[in-house]
Each structure stands twice: as C-alpha cells, then as structure tokens.
C-alpha cells in the first residue's frame, strides 16, 4: 500500500510552511515520513512547491488539476500511486497513531473508502482510498464540487465508528491538525504533558 502526504496548503493562518515547523524535536513533515516509512512500501508527497522538498527521498508530485484543494491533492496522489489503495494524511497532524493506521490498512480490502467517523463528522484527510475512486473524484473536480464528503456517496464507503476510534485514541488526539500558531502552542503543550 502507498502512503500519500498532502503538503499543498497555503499555510496562510500559520504564516509559514507548516511542513517545516518543528514539533517534538523534528519537523512535522519528517514525523509523518518516519511513521509512513514503517507502514508503506511507497511514499508520495503531493505539493504545489516541489522545489522545497527536493532533499526528501520519496516521490514528489504536483496537482494534476491545480487549485482544487484537498480533493485535487488526493486525486493526484492516487493517480500516481502504484498500489490499488493508499492511505492519505496531511503533513500537519502531529499525533498520527501508528497502531490505528495499521489497523485501518487491515480493514480496507472490502471498500473504496475507509474513513474514521468521530462524533464531529468523518475525517477524509485521514482515510484509505482505492484507485476505483479516481473516476468519481475526477467528475467532482470537473464539476468544481470539491467537498470530499460528496465522494463518499459515489463510492463504497465504510465509516469507522467512534467506539472503535476511542479504543485506539482515548484522548481524541490523532485527528488534530495544526492550522495556526495557537494550534501549534496547544499541541506542544499536549505533547509535553
């Protein structure tokens, strides 16, 4: 299976590239890469600024159809993968849970999308996607309907219920991402505790 890391956001609220922010003694992106290398045969980074990542030993791709947000990033990563399925996460989730991701990979064979669904709604940027989703993604992109949740109705989607999520992540940290300096401060406090 392939691990796809999304690093195409503008980081406008953060004011700097989130991928390179230090967290727990290493860059956020490096934390994700280290975890993914342990889980996946292939790593793909999707970014709109490939030159910033040339020091990394992984496949770097840009959006096939620029300006289509996270859906466009997932589509591009999935398009270039050699695997039938890929796990997708952004570069700014410092509390990714290795055990939970490994469990997800073991559960993904009988669906097109496997997505965690905590009480506050599905987490499409922490999900497994099949290449069978590519045509439905392309149609949504062509129609400029970029909400990823619209894909779930067009593909065989399995949602992982809150009780399962809680068994892996009782503190509810694994989907937390960093969008602002305040988010970063809070995440660092949580990490130090």
Q: Contact 32/93 with Cβ under 8 angstroms?
A: yes
pLDDT of residue 8: 76
pLDDT of residue 13: 67
Containing 184, the helix (H) or strand (E) segment is helix 181-192
Helix 28-39 / helix 98-107 crossing angle, nearest 10 deg:
40
Structural domains present in the chain: 2-192 (3.90.550.10)
**Letter string b/e over residues 108-147, b meaning 16 or more CB atoms within 10 A of that residue's CB:** beebbbbbbbbeeebbbbbbbbbbebeebbeebbeeeeee
* Mean pLDDT (10-residue bins), the chain, 193 residues: 88 76 93 96 95 93 95 98 97 96 96 97 97 98 97 97 97 92 90 84
Spatial distance between the Cα atoms of 34 and 13, rounded to a whole number of angstroms: 26
For the chain, what is the largest distance between any 2 Cα atoms, rounded to a whole number of angstroms?
46
pLDDT of residue 11: 61
Containing 160, the helix (H) or strand (E) segment is strand 157-160
Residues paired with 46 in a beta bridge: 6, 61
């Amino acid at each position: 299976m392939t691990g796809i890391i999304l690093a195409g956001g503008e980081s406008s609220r953060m004011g700097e590239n989130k991928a390179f922010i230090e967290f727990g003694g290493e860059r956020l992106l490096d934390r994700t890469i280290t975890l993914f290398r342990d889980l996946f045969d292939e790593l793909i980074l999707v970014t709109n600024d490939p030159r910033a990542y040339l020091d990394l030993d992984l496949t770097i791709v840009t959006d096939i159809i620029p300006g289509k947000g996270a859906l466009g990033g997932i589509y591009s990563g999935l398009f270039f993968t050699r695997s039938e399925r890929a796990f997708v996460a952004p570069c700014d989730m410092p509390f990714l849970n290795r055990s939970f991701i490994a469990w997800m990979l073991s559960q993904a064979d009988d669906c097109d999308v496997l997505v965690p669904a905590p009480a506050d709604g599905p987490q499409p940027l922490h999900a497994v996607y099949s290449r069978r989703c590519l045509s439905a993604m392309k149609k949504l992109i062509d129609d400029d309907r970029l909400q990823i949740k619209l894909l779930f109705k067009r593909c065989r989607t399995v949602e992982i219920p809150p009780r399962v999520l809680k068994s892996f992540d009782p503190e509810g940290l694994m989907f937390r991402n960093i969008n602002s300096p305040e988010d970063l401060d809070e995440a660092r406090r949580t990490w130090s505790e």
